[in-house]
Structure 1
């Protein structure tokens, strides 16, 4: 938590100094810029805002409800607090909770050194400045990290409940529900038979979501659950996991008069669809063939790096819980069309992608590791300042 806070606080101070230098208030940038303003308006007035642009109809129904609900609830406890400041309080608190959850996952899988580096790398990504804004990525990552930890430790009800909250936080929160459903389905399908789980390299006989550390479920007194098909917690987790995401999508559908397609129509109004990467390929072609602005070029480089890290991550044979979660996030990012410059932000919750780099740094010479981390810090602080104070593109 201390390393993550130090990384983000340093970036925040540098950005604030430059913002003051050019005459822009940092708190307004952090608390009301771009999507943050949409969230704050929902917190203040509820849903119902629509903006019409040439070729686009932007409705606030595209934004999931948990974050503005937390801001609104906090406003009743902190009289006089502005929504932007309260939104930052929620985001910063969620970022710290997420950092601890990421550490818990990394420590369970690979030990303390890797876990510490994993948290530090997450705080030093080029787009990590988003983690200090009134955005929802910190909130989703917090729920996702602890849901994955719950799967690794076989706490099924916790995993399902956290998946509900993740699904109410962001559209790509469905990745948490997918991880829970896949792990639970495997547990139920194996029916208590003692098999070697896929993704463990044959080193143990635990389920794919457990990280290879234990064979029992909490609350069983150390006794293995012989028939998961009879464990009501598994079925409850499976029922809970998609409830948050599906519930909001259906609510938007009923509100717009199209129960099954209304939410997706709202997303199309933002030019956001899933087209298996066709739209992204057109943008990549334009970036390669024509002069491109810095945010688009950086977005392309970051997405390519994420795909490479995903390949390395898969080759490391991770637990299925992390594999499914990360794969869904990468698939949504690469296969979706819309605002290409925002794709790196969509990948911020995909912290397992950083595991191969964290493992490599633990094996590198200390001087080399320090050079890599210092380089990432410089890129993160400099590019983050540019994004918030100079870039004309939305994050």
Structure 2
């Protein structure tokens, strides 16, 4: 019968009944299955988990496994196996291969003859020996078993030749499990999904909540700033995170992380160039930087200040005007065309520094715009020169 109940059958409670009913209140992975893992806790609350800790003896091939409690989930119908180790258990690792190192796997394993035909009905802590290789990898975890540690065994090591380098050889793989509704303490490399929306876990000193699709740092209701390196995708629009590499605060807009305080944005060129075009052009002749441009993200106010300038001269003329004006585009759409009224202008054979500042409003917040420096000469027969060119955009708040 697929419906199991504790101590209700007139024929007595089966082993499957016991596993399914009493352990159904642990961290769920399905309506009837629980997450395999070690029950957390330590004397005095000093450690996240202390059960089934593997501790090696310096200079030897031996280690001991500390007492603890665990749950190992099999199939939904077969149920979960509770396991308890009540005293320290010794382990002895085989000597290293003469040529190559290997990686052994320490597991907590359940044998159930009714299902696996092993002839055994017990739980055991075992060493699954890895294969020596130039680049060794851990062996696969057996069925109905819990991976506890990997242990690297170098080539040629033995009890008489230094033993295992325990401090660097061990890698802790122990997962944890708690009662349903409990906060799950886990490692930073734990990629398992939550059991249900509203499931909480403590990871890397950060409290997270399962949203049904991702682990979201909590609390989000009070606008907590996510620590650096914790979250790749935002959990909600308006969430903030710190970025260590960029040293800036970012805000999730629903599809991307953008600077919480955008700008200022700056671009410049020290290479002089000229044009004799009487209509505005981005291209200058005789310069490695043929067009000076920058992009910026419109701030929430939709307003920015655009500044630009250059050292300007007109070859052999004191009356011809050289103009430098910004052109603003959104994709292929020109939002603000270059215009003499918005230009930094100058004339004369001797270069003079000219600049201007302009306010542009009614931009779409969050959209990415491009500003390009445009140039022209008031005479097609006179070259207008521009040197030490620069552009800058500052957001308005």
Interval of TM-score (by shorter of Structure 1 and Structure 2): under 0.3
Q: Which is richer in strand?
A: 2
Quick check: which has more Rg, 1 or 2? 2
Answer 1 or 2: higher relative contact order, Cα 8 Å, separation at least 6: 1
- TM-score normalized by structure 1? 0.20
- TM-score normalized by structure 2? 0.20
